[in-house]
Amino acid sequence: MKSGSKAREGRKPAPPANPPVQGAPSSRLRILLVVVVVALLAAGYTWREPLTLAWLRRGPVDGLERYAARNPESTEAAAVLARVYLASGRPEDAVTVLSPVSDRHPENASIRVLLARALYELGKTTAAYAHLQVVVNTLDPDNDEARWWLGQVQERAGRTDEAYDTYEALVRRTPKHMLALIRLGALATVDGRYSVAEEFYRRAVAAAPGNSEAASRHAEILFRLGRAEEAAAEARRAVQLAPDASRGNFWLGRSLLVLDARGHGAEAEAALRKAADRSEKPYEARYFLAKLLRQLGRTEEAIQELERNTRENPLHQNSFYDLALYTRSLGQTQRAEQAMSRFRTLSSLDDLGRQLETQVAAAPSDLQARLRLARFYLKTQRPDLARGQVDQILRQNPDQAEARRLAQQITATPSASSP
């Protein structure tokens, strides 16, 4: 027993399988801290410019301009500055900033799309089209913004069938693209395909329930389909979303005028007056306001609205026609005859327009026929239609002097949009 005890007493205890390392926890902590610091520095470097640009964008534009001048190689700075220029109605400055960047980085799809947008706003649709074609066909076929602006360029150039196809491709990729759905509805409306348009507008409303433009366009097509009660309800919703928007008020007034002019007289009058106040084409809303006043027995006031229309827009032939009817009903024969004479003159002018359009349709390559039609559209205050003819001419002959002059004139003319 004693000898065994002594033997056990003489043995040294075996060392642990994993002996503790002195200072190991603190070493691991130092390594972790180094990794964190490196990551933070890398993140700070990565996010420094976006954060700087976001901050500068909140202030005066000269801060962004100075930053872009100090960093001429920064495509992000050029893009942000160009967007600010575009938002403030300075497309020519956007082109000045973006052109050299696009030349240095022709593979940059975002810069090309921004440049195309600026060129489009300057009326240079051929150049805009070229940039967008490169993006959608080569650089980034899935770029929704490029496809949207390509559709806009095609529309302005009068190539509405191509624009329709472009928007359709866009909504196949992005079914809730509200703007493309609205343009599809608008193009279908122009073609008289009201049921197709209603479907597109309904989808636009579903994609953006809080958007007044989508709701008001849906109200318009419901009205055109003869569904005045639904149109009034949708127009009311549009007005609730944007009380001062012209389109919503216009279609609310028209719907109520059809439903029950006397029962909804006050609401319809308020809507049409607001539509006239807010519209680029106040004579349309004022024309239907005159109809409402006439139905309410306020013929003298209706005549005043129509006379104001004929002063502000001497080409609004429907106002002359109704003015002739209303003045004759009050026994004002001379005023009625003058108004009817003017109406007949404008009707003849419409006949001339149809003749010119027929000539262009029969000979699309006849540049002189297109010039005559463009001049006619400008004379009758339809710059959007004139632009389509001028763009077609410049596509065939970029150096056509009169077409270039008309293009500059059109760019300086406010776009004629519906109420």
pLDDT at res. 187: 95
User: Residue 417's pLDDT band (boundaries 50, 70, 90)?
Assistant: very low
Q: Which of 149, 174, 199 is the last residue of a domain?
A: 174
313 and 376 in a common domain: no
Q: Which of 313, 346, 362 is the last residue of a domain?
A: 362
User: Residue 56's pLDDT band (boundaries 50, 70, 90)?
Assistant: confident
In a domain, residue 199? The reply is: no
User: Residue 53's pLDDT band (boundaries 50, 70, 90)?
Assistant: confident
In a domain, residue 336? The reply is: yes
Q: How far is CA 113 from CA 10, 72, 120, 139, 145, in A?
A: 87, 19, 10, 11, 7
End-to-end CA distance of the chain: 114
In a domain, residue 195? The reply is: no
392 in helix, strand or coil? Answer: helix
Token code pair at residue 52: 């700087």
In a domain, residue 5? The reply is: no
Whole-prediction pTM = 0.76
Contact partners, residue 325, CB within 8 Å, separation at least 6: 336
d(CA 342, CA 361): 29
In a domain, residue 189? The reply is: no
407 and 314 in a common domain: no
396 and 355 in a common domain: no
Contact partners, residue 389, CB within 8 Å, separation at least 6: 158, 360, 370, 371, 373, 374, 377
Number of domains in the chain: 3
User: Residue 41's pLDDT band (boundaries 50, 70, 90)?
Assistant: very low
Which of residues 18 and 392 earns the better pLDDT score? Answer: 392
User: Residue 129's pLDDT band (boundaries 50, 70, 90)?
Assistant: very high
Average model confidence (pLDDT) across the chain:
89
pLDDT at res. 4: 52
In a domain, residue 192? The reply is: no
d(CA 247, CA 258): 17
| Cα-trace Rg, the chain | 33
161 and 56 in a common domain: yes
95 and 56 in a common domain: yes
d(CA 199, CA 182): 10
128 and 80 in a common domain: yes
416 and 338 in a common domain: no
pLDDT in tens, 291-314: 999 999 999 999 999 999 999 999
d(CA 309, CA 30): 81
User: Residue 345's pLDDT band (boundaries 50, 70, 90)?
Assistant: very high
pLDDT at res. 341: 96
20 in helix, strand or coil? Answer: coil
User: Residue 40's pLDDT band (boundaries 50, 70, 90)?
Assistant: very low
Q: Which of 130, 152, 174 is the last residue of a domain?
A: 174
On whether the CB atoms of residues 214 and 182 are closer than 8 A, the answer is yes
Mean pLDDT computed over 268-281: 96
Range of the domain at 159: 49-174
pLDDT in tens, 173-212: 999 999 999 999 999 998 999 999 999 999 999 999 999 9
